[in-house]
Amino acid sequence: MLPGRHTPLPPTWLCRIDAHPWPCGEAKLALLVAYADDRPGLLTLLSKLREEAEDQLTQLDGGRPVDTTDRFLTWACQAGR
């Protein structure tokens, strides 16, 4: 289960609360707090969600591959520096 109220709405992967691309700013903060002592767990979760999101977003975009690496993972890796 994802922390906080700012959760994704598949298949568009927009935030249910503010309609920004998920993870929105509030979701990122909630995830960083929830996984403060488990960065590998956070990255594992985000990797699984990224794969699901890419599959769904690719289908919505007529089969053109969608890359969400920066959106889902890069920020979490950089936050630990």
The pLDDT of 49-61, averaged and rounded, is 96
The predicted pLDDT at position 81 comes to 59
Contacts of 58 (CB under 8 A, 6+ apart): 64, 65, 66
The yes-or-no verdict on residue 80 having pLDDT over 70 is: no
The yes-or-no verdict on residue 5 having pLDDT over 80 is: yes
Between strands 14-15 and 8-9, the pairing is: antiparallel
pLDDT band at 36; cut points 50, 70, 90: very high
Q: What is the pTM of this model?
A: 0.91
